[in-house]
Each structure stands twice: as structure tokens, then as C-alpha cells.
Amino acid sequence: DGGITQSPKYLFRKEGQNVTLSCEQNLNHDAMYWYRQDPGQGLRLIYYSQIVNDFQKGDIAEGYSVSREKKESFPLTVTSAQKNPTAFYLCASSLADFQSYNEQFFGPGTRLTVL
Amino acid sequence: GQQVMQIPQYQHVQEGEDFTTYCNSSTTLSNIQWYKQRPGGHPVFLIQLVKSGEVKKQKRLTFQFGEAKKNSSLHITATQTTDVGTYFCAGRITGGGNKLTFGTGTQLKVEL
């Protein structure tokens, strides 16, 4: 059963703690993305990776960090430096689209609440 | 700031009425994709448009890409309760690399 998994679905953390959200895909996609979704603001790109061991900042990278050590995995760490971390986080993947434009496949998301 | 805007932000319709959402970019887009997110779910790809002035149809849904490649629209004919959700446009800004910029989304509610 191919797809993207994100865990956990709901996550609660105390203010000041770092937290890592997992994202795994078995679609054999080279590109992976992390988005943040807030009401009324659509999806905003945090980080993306076109290939293993390489990643680029998106529009709102401050307070976040990522790694891409394996093709299948793209974990996102929300650090204590992120001022408003409570949000719905979506991971996506796609074929590497250097020559064409490919659709993105999304995981079910993780809803992070910082208390 | 947000470079791709959608209007309206919310739309309530009676079942059977038509619905249109508009997507406007401040810069030229290389392509436009449309996604649908059901309540409590995640975005799912609907379609992609690449050519200037392109029009594509999927049953009751009609997608259009503007001649200047700065705007797009999604029109649903005779809405059904299954159309409920938030519709997002997303495009690659010309010269902006391979990342997608998503629109702000239009939330559609359909009442019986």
C-alpha cells in the first residue's frame, strides 16, 4: 500500500520544547516538502528537498529544521525558536520535477498544539 | 507576503447552484495546479494546467488558465454535497525555482 505517512496525528508539547514530526513515503519520490497550514492562510512552504542530503528553505523556514538522510524520510523539527508553532503540518512528496511539473501527494498531517 | 490570492475566501451555496473560485498571482506562473481538501483531510490533486488560455474539464468541474498566465479559475456546475471542502490553486512562479506557491484557498459549503 503506497503512500505518505505522518505520525502522530495529534501532538501536544510544552512551550520551549523542540519536537520532531515524522514523514515517510514509499512512493519512490525524490522530492519532499513540508507545509504549514493555518486558518485562512492556505499552505505555506517551510522546507523542501529535491534529493537526498540536500534541502532548501521555503517561505517560512525560521524556527524549523529538517534533514534528508534517506530518500524515504524527511523529518521536521519545530524548535523553541518558532514563535507560533501551533498549526497543522503537512508533508508532501512528488517526482523530481526538473523538466516537468508533477503533482504533489500529501500525507494525512500532524496537528501540533503547543501549550 | 502571499503572492497567490484566491477569492472568495468562503462560499455557501444551495445544492444545485454553481460555484466559482478565482486564483490571482502577482507574477507570471509556469503552471497552475488545483487541489481539494475535504474537512479534516489533506489536499488531493485535481488537475494541472500549463498552457496560456488552457481549459480543462472533469465532469462538472471546469478549470481555466488565463492568457497572461497570472490567473486561473475553477467552476463547478450544479454543486453537490460531495463538493464540500477547500479548493486551493498552486503554481510555480516563473523564475522562482521548483517550489509551488499555494493560494489562500476557498472554502465551499453546500447546503441541501
Question: Over chain B (112 residues), what is each successive 10-residue block's mean pLDDT?
Answer: 86 98 94 96 96 97 97 98 97 81 95 93
Whether residue A91 lies within 8 A of chain B, CB to CB, comes out as no
For residue A23, list chain B residues with Cβ-Cβ distance below 8 A: none
Cα(A3)–Cα(A6) distance, integer angstroms: 10
Q: What is the pLDDT of residue B75?
A: 98
Does B103 sit within 8 Å of A101, measured CB to CB?
no
Q: What is the pLDDT of residue B49?
A: 96
Smallest Cα–Cα separation from B62: which of B71, B79, B75, B53?
B75
Predicted confidence (pLDDT) at residue A32 exceeds the cutoff of 90: yes
Q: What is the pLDDT of residue B104?
A: 92
Predicted confidence (pLDDT) at residue A11 exceeds the cutoff of 90: yes
Report the residue of chain B nearest A111, measured CA to CA.
Answer: B40
Smallest Cα–Cα separation from A37: which of B14, B90, B94?
B90
Nearest by CB: B100 against A90, A104, A107: A104
A62 or B96: which leads in pLDDT:
A62
Predicted confidence (pLDDT) at residue A1 exceeds the cutoff of 70: no
Cα(A99)–Cα(A78) distance, integer angstroms: 32
User: Which site among B5, B89, B102 would you substitute to test the A interface, given the most A Cβ atoms closer than 10 Å to its Cβ?
Assistant: B102
Residue type, B80: Q
Using a 10 angstrom Cβ sphere, with 0-12 exposed, 13-18 middle and 19 or more buried, the burial of residue A16 is exposed
Q: What is the pLDDT of residue A41?
A: 76
Predicted confidence (pLDDT) at residue A77 exceeds the cutoff of 60: yes
Q: What is the pLDDT of residue A17?
A: 92
